[in-house]
Structure 1
Amino acid sequence: MKPEIAQKPTAVVLGLGQNGLATVRALARKGIPVIGIDRDLKQYTARTRYCKRLHCPDFKTGTDWIERLVELGQALPCKGVLFPSGDFSLQKLSDHRKRLDPYFHFTFPVKKVVDLCLDKRAFYRFAALHGFPIPQSFFPESDGDWRAITDSVRYPCVVKPYQPSLGWRRIFPEHKLFEVGSADALLKLSRRIRQLHSDLVVQERIPGKDDSLFFSLTYLDSNSKPLGMFTGRKLRQQPPQSGTSSMAESLWQPWIADTSTALLQAMGYTGYGSVEFKWDPRDRAFKIIEVSARTWFPHGVSAACGVNLEYIAYCDKTGLPIPPANGFRQKVKWIHEERDLRSSIAYLKAGKLTLPQWISSYRGARTYAISCRDDPGPVLYLMLHLITVPWRRVIRSLAC
């Protein structure tokens, strides 16, 4: 390592799951010193050689880690740069922004904009007020509200929290939302989940496969000017139809880029962000699904295609020259090895994917979420995980 690298401001990545791993690699490959913080340093995505890893037991469950972050900031030779990789860390960093400001630069927007992104009810109302296309949405609170919307909502519809709580994530780790097809089913579901999470949105289910979901990734400077823009689309999700990306691809879509910029600027947005859209064949129009104020699940594909938004953010915050765009590689597939295997098996079992189609889906230029030659640790531990987990289940079943 060159001596001058240690003098560069340190990037601090909050969370070493897949999102965090992609951020660590995007920065470290540019010679940036990186510290990664997580409560689980044994997870395979945390086994990267590209960062110094710090264990924080209460990360994602408390606020003591904020003080540890302050202590870290005080020990750094100059202001660090924070990169949250999940909504929980984003929310906590935003809430404690004043406490952290003397020690860190922030790659996410100010608190009122972060809150707008995290609160789906507030965001959908904002988007509708400003004329941006969104799915039909309702925000019931009382029993009467739930009964009243049963005759108005388009079926099938989905029910999801404004912002999933830790309780929701523990009980429904694979479910961002639930789908129902009738008024009776909607009322039954509401009685089941309202005790766990009262802040819920009911939304029409836009028809279409996973590949009708498109997204943008961007970074806006302090004047809300985009310094980099990437667009792409999902190809498969895990769980299918309602989860996060397991396979995506780069695909330049000018309308997606322009609408994302217009929406974010209307919000007064600065920093790293993403906007998700779905094509509605009934109206022949894209509709906005959500805005995220932190790195988004398949964001590793952008750096692989010449748009390293994490490095652009770092340079903007630290006063370094903004790197020029290195072109845009079209049709590069991003694949999360473990999640896409599970998604593919589910589609194969359901008869929605044939074996030849599955094999064909891996053709063309590819980049992987976990595997790479210059950082083999994560994939080696993933392979160990895939080998040992079935045996652990067998042992547990025998013990019972």
Structure 2
Amino acid sequence: MPSFDTRVPAVLVRLDPNPFHHGTLGAARSLGRAGITVHAVVESLSSPVVRSRYVRGAHPPPAQPSPAELVRLLLRLAERIPECASRPALLVPLDDITALCLAECRPELAGRYLLPDQSPEQLSRVADKAHLAETCRALGLPHPRTELPAGADEAAAMAWSLGLPVIAKWSRPWLLPPGGGLRSTTIVGSLAEVRALYARTPQAGSRLLLQELLPAGRDLDWFFHGYVDSAGGCSTGATGRKERSWPDGAGLTAVGRWTANPVLDGTARTLLAALGYRGVCDLDFRFDRGTGTYHLLDFNPRPGAQFRLFADRHGLDVIRAMHLDLTGRRVPAHLPAYGRRFVVENYAALSYVSSPRRRYAQEPRPGGGTGSGAGGGRRTAGEAAWFAADDPGPALAMLRAWLAHALRKGLLRLRRLLRPAGRPRWRPAVTPQPPPSARTPSTDRMSPR
């Protein structure tokens, strides 16, 4: 077990209002179990993560998620945390918008908080999907063919050229309004869907990208998680593959396994070195059988929600590596635990219900073989995203919130099914008013004085 400076507290920050973000809970448990005091800025004081025994204090985010408002909140918070009186705290961003905001206001936070050496321009180069496509082209890194339409007609033409179905992405998904029904990534199968989605660009707040859909299949979706320290080393880095995702084929990891993949590992580390990147990262890849290459799909400049998959035999993961490095401690070598699994209970359940049997036949794993050296034969203990014997509160809170969420969605769908076809929704009747010139005292009796 590495030696941590437990005098340095940590503040987890997530501006994304998603209450089911299991990565926040993973970060709280990882640091808390190491004896580090943890505070969390999360969407609500009723969030499941707040129920964790390892969260010392929970704090609501600013009403407007801007860098200036975030700076004011964090400086006030530093005054209230006793441990911050004599030393700075570690700041851990857990979503893209938070990582970008913290990189922008890093100078104002210096002295009170510890952050990796990152600039907003550097993070935007990889977090913005449009900029990522340009970055891959400049570096010669395989990336799905991507188009940026400037109109609905052009979007339809580009989708036809790419070949339906296509992947539709918003270049800055962190700007999507909550509850608006827009997803960061969608598989669209018709030109009408493409046009309809493009029409919602003003609501989305960023550009729509159309991307070639690489064929899905068993063992084709992979990811790399790592931490690049202050000297540019990446001793804590590993590759894993998605066994199940939600939604299927274009969603987050529901079940993942730590699997050695030297080709992918080398590709990811070469990219990080070329970018001069520092800090935690989460990279998503898909293997293309036709070309025999791994295509970079996403680059997230913060911890991936399933980062606890890569907790090694001594408990070292990317969050702990970040704390060690920024407090001046040595980051030990990562000890692989190939075969370790990570299961996100709520999304795994949805995946098994929708697809109880795998759609794809067994096939050799790309770039890794099938033996234990590739992580394919030996199984080791795993970890659940929500349930933990030493910290059961968040799982119970998540289950209650998840059931309430499912019930609300079910009732809404039932109302839609029961509404007679063609019957318009009820709206209150509005009595037409005469123009001002035609009004008399009797018709204007209720007008404001």
TM-score range for the pair, normalised by the shorter chain length = 0.7 to 0.9
Whole-angstrom CA distance in 1 between matches of 2:27 and 2:352 = 26
Whole-angstrom CA distance in 2 between matches of 1:129 and 1:392 = 46
The yes-or-no answer on 1:69 pairing with 2:74 is: yes
The yes-or-no answer on 1:236 pairing with 2:244 is: yes
Superposition TM-score, scaled by structure 2 size: 0.77
Output the amino acid matched with 2:344: H
Match of 2:274 among 262, 266, 279: 266
Whole-angstrom CA distance in 2 between matches of 1:127 and 1:273 = 16
Q: CA deviation at 1:197?
A: 4.0
Whole-angstrom CA distance in 1 between matches of 2:218 and 2:97 = 26
Whole-angstrom CA distance in 2 between matches of 1:386 and 1:130 = 42
Indicate conservation of the 8 Å contact 1:206/1:278, yes or no. Answer: yes
Whole-angstrom CA distance in 2 between matches of 1:60 and 1:209 = 41
Counterparts of 1:248-259 in structure 2, within 5 Å, are 248-259=256-267
Counterparts of 1:183-262 in structure 2, within 5 Å, are 183=191, 185-193=193-201, 196-209=204-217, 211-262=219-270
Q: CA deviation at 1:52?
A: 1.4
Output the amino acid matched with 1:189: L
Whole-angstrom CA distance in 2 between matches of 1:200 and 1:389 = 28
The yes-or-no answer on 1:382 pairing with 2:398 is: yes
Q: How many residues align?
A: 385
Q: Which residue in 2 is equivalent to 1:373?
A: 389
Q: CA deviation at 1:35?
A: 1.3
Whole-angstrom CA distance in 2 between matches of 1:395 and 1:217 = 39
- Cα deviation 1:331-389 (Å, max 9, x = unaligned): 111001112112221224x9959xxxxxxxxx963210011112121122234445666
Identity of aligned residues (%): 23
Match of 1:30 among 27, 31, 34: 34
Q: CA deviation at 1:218?
A: 0.7
* Counterparts in 2 of 1:166 and 1:186: CA distance versus 1, 3 Å: closer
Whole-angstrom CA distance in 2 between matches of 1:205 and 1:217 = 23
Unaligned runs of 5+ in 1: 354-362
Larger radius of gyration: 2
* Counterparts in 2 of 1:26 and 1:383: CA distance versus 1, 3 Å: same
Q: What's the C-alpha RMSD, in Å, of the aligned pairs?
A: 3.1
Q: CA deviation at 1:182?
A: 4.5
Q: Which residue in 2 is equivalent to 1:356?
A: none
Unaligned runs of 5+ in 2: 361-378, 420-449
Indicate conservation of the 8 Å contact 1:230/1:307, yes or no. Answer: no
With 143-152 and 221-230 compared, the bigger mean Cα shift is at 143-152
Match of 1:296 among 295, 304, 309: 304
Whole-angstrom CA distance in 1 between matches of 2:407 and 2:187 = 34
Whole-angstrom CA distance in 1 between matches of 2:12 and 2:336 = 26
Q: Which residue in 2 is equivalent to 1:101?
A: 110
SS of the residue corresponding to residue 269 of structure 2 reads helix
Indicate conservation of the 8 Å contact 2:167/2:212, yes or no. Answer: yes
Q: Which residue in 1 is equivalent to 2:13?
A: 14
Q: CA deviation at 1:234?
A: 1.0
Whole-angstrom CA distance in 2 between matches of 1:287 and 1:392 = 38
Q: CA deviation at 1:43?
A: 2.1
SS of the residue corresponding to residue 170 of structure 1 reads coil
Whole-angstrom CA distance in 2 between matches of 1:70 and 1:238 = 38
